[in-house]
Amino acid sequence: MRLQELGYEIRRARAARGLTQAELAQAAGLSRTTLNQLENGLFPDLGVKKVQAILDRLGLDLAVEQAQRARRPDFIQMACTTASVSFRESLAPDELVHALLSGKVPRNRRPHLRTLLEEAPRPLLEGLVHEVSRWTKPGKVAGNVEKIATELGSSQRTRSWLKTA
């Protein structure tokens, strides 16, 4: 499980119980801003005790299980590999996901993201946007990709597949 999935599940459980972010944050001893960041996949560095406090208030458990072999492609990992092939340092999956959820390019990763947007096959980019979009509001990731493409001066290619996706 990626940490963004944890944030998404916390948001779902909170909403299902009719709690506001402020109510849950206060009950768990966190700020509403911290909870908001966690739910949106832009989480701060939270300790296990804080996460457990949130889960306890929602009646959820965190379990460690044997990882299942993925049946579908891991678009995040494939995108990181594609973005990093020409560089000494690799783009980490967490850096890529954070960029897609926030619309902000991580420091020293501009070339990686430009390479990804200009050279990756269209099905990889579409799969990446679809995979990361599961953890946020509809259209947010596609909008952030367009924002990043504009900031990086990416080719028309990126903008054209976004309009048809």
- pLDDT tens-place string over residues 114-133: 999 999 999 999 999 999 99
Q: How far apart are alpha carbons 5 and 9 in whole angstroms? A: 6
Q: What is the pLDDT of residues 32-72, one digit of tens each?
A: 998 888 887 776 677 788 888 888 888 888 877 766 665 67
Domain boundaries, the chain: 3-58, 75-164
The model's pLDDT over 135-163, given as tens digits with 9 standing for 90+, comes to 888 889 999 999 999 898 876 777 677 76
d(CA 153, CA 110): 10
Mean pLDDT, to the nearest integer, of 73-99?
Answer: 92
End-to-end CA distance of the chain: give it in Å, rounded.
27
Say if residue 9's pLDDT is above 70. Answer: yes
**For residue 155, what pLDDT is reported?**
65
Show Cβ contacts of residue 47 under 8 Å, excluding neighbours closer than 6 positions.
none
Q: What is the mean pLDDT of residues 71-99?
A: 91
User: Which helix (DSSP H) or strand (DSSP E) does residue 150 occupy?
Assistant: helix 140-152
CATH 1.10.260.40 fits 3-58, yes or no: yes
The pLDDT, as a whole number, for residue 69 is 65
Instruction: Please tell me the predicted confidence (pLDDT) of residue 163.
Output: 66
Q: Are 53 and 45 in contact (CB under 8 A)?
A: no
pLDDT of residue 39: 84
Question: Amino acid identity, residue 2?
Answer: R
